[in-house]
Amino acid sequence: MEQVMSAPNTIEISVANFQQTIQQLTPDQLLLVEFWAPEMEACQAMSPILAKVAAEHSHALVLGRVNCAADQQLAMQCGVRSLPTVMLIKEGKMLDGFDGGADEMQIRALLDKHLPKEQDQLLAQAREHLQQQQAGDAYPLLKRAIELDSSRVDIKLALSDALLALGKLADAESLLRSIGMADQDGYYQSLMAQLELKQQAAQSPELKQLEEQHAASPDDSQVSFRLAVQYQAANRSEEALALLLSLLKKDLNAADGDAKAALLDILATLPQGDPLAGTYRRQFYSLLY
């Protein structure tokens, strides 16, 4: 008999443990039931494929193997008429399945219809981080999710939420503006309100005054440094980094070395995967070396 039982999410199923197996599944898990017999060539060909594919989805899928040569009762109860037969079960209900042999492409196509997508898992993880006010941890997950499916409004909203928390107001506004009226729900309205408040806060009188002083005296390094600090306080990281880098290009010890320290501090606070960090880190290191 072929060896296909090594995967941790593969179990032998019979009448005795069928209901218990279903009850032990989490709400997100699927049970892939394989009805087979060792003497049948079609079963011998398909069983290793099922085991391989199931092992790739060990957190979302359990492969239950029913040896119909040893136990025919469960097959009869499930209405199995030919071997091999495969049934996909969730929360005790049959979702899908097929009888007769199938190749790897057909098996994967069946599972792809029902297994959670990678972007769904990333979104769920990111939402947990957002609930715990960990926008920096949520950001790279949502960036990956939006790369996988740029049309998903729920991912756009969560990413906008993270961007607002990180002070990336221009990016958040651009993303929110891309959402159509039909999808502008309460979450969207809340995010737009947050955006407006943060945009107002980012234009404080102190900051405006420094911008005017900098426009009048662009070569005054102390004014430029204070303006960069104010930009960062207003979560305008890109403008702060641009100012600091321009100071350091003129003098690596600008503002008594504080410009260098401020730039490194800003880079350290940017979330993982933020392209801004890579761009300015490369430019800064090119000055050093």
Q: What pLDDT, on a 0 to 100 scale, did the predictor assign at position 66?
A: 96
Sheet holding 61-67, edge to edge: 10-12, 61-67, 30-36, 85-90, 93-99
CB-neighbour burial class of residue 134 (10 A; exposed 0-12, middle 13-18, buried 19+)? middle
Looking at residue 2, its pLDDT comes to: 45
Across the chain, the runs of DSSP E, i.e. the strands, are 10-12, 30-36, 61-67, 85-90, 93-99
- The tokens describing 165, both together, are 């928390």
pTM of the full structure: 0.58
Phi (first) and psi of residue 209, to 5 degrees: -65, -45
Residue with the larger pLDDT of the pair 57 and 66: 66
Q: Which two tokens stand for residue 134?
A: 């960990």
Give me the pLDDT at residue 167, please: 86
- The DSSP output letter for 203 is T
Mean pLDDT of 211-236: 91
Please write the tens of the pLDDT for every residue from 1-48.
444 445 678 999 999 999 999 999 888 889 999 999 999 999 999 999
Tens-place pLDDT, residues 143-180: 999 999 999 999 999 999 999 998 889 899 999 999 99
| Per-residue pLDDT at 7 | 62
Summarize the confidence of residues 265-271 as an average pLDDT. Answer: 87
Distance CA 125, CA 127 (A): 5
Q: What is the pLDDT of residue 101?
A: 86
Spatial distance between the Cα atoms of 35 and 40, rounded to a whole number of angstroms: 11
User: Which of the residue ranges 24-28, 60-64, 79-83, 188-192 would you say has the lowest mean pLDDT?
Assistant: 24-28
